[in-house]
Amino acid sequence: MTILTKPYMQTGNAHLLPIDRNDPSLVLYLPLWYPHGDMTGSTIYSYDKNRRTGTVSGAVWGSTGRFFDHSNDTVTIPNTASLQLTGDMTVIAWVQPDSNSDDYDGIVIKSNQSPTITGWELLLRSAAVGFYFVIGNGVAQKTAYGTGGAAIAAGTWYQLVGVRSGTTNSLYINLVKGTDGTSGTLVDSGTNVVAGLRTGQAWGGKIGEICIYNRALPVGEITRNHQATKWRYL
Chunked into runs of 10 residues, the chain (234 residues) has average pLDDT values of 34 65 96 95 96 98 97 97 97 94 91 89 92 92 90 95 95 96 90 94 96 98 96 93
The pLDDT score that the predictor gives to residue 15 is: 56
Let me know how long the chain is: 234
- Would you say domain 28-232 falls under CATH 2.60.120.200? yes
The pLDDT score that the predictor gives to residue 35 is: 94
Helix (H) or strand (E) holding 219: helix 219-229
User: Residue 124, Cβ neighbours under 10 Å: how many?
Assistant: 26
The pLDDT score that the predictor gives to residue 107 is: 97
- Which of 168, 165, 117 shows the shortest CA–CA distance to 140? 117
Say if pTM beats, i.e. exceeds, 0.85: yes
Give, as one character, the DSSP assignment of residue 221: H
Q: In whole angstroms, what is the distance from residue 132 CA to residue 209 CA?
A: 18
- Report the alpha-carbon angle 39-80-170, nearest 5: 80
**Bridge partner list, 29:** 211
The pLDDT score that the predictor gives to residue 13 is: 47
Domain boundaries, the chain: 28-232
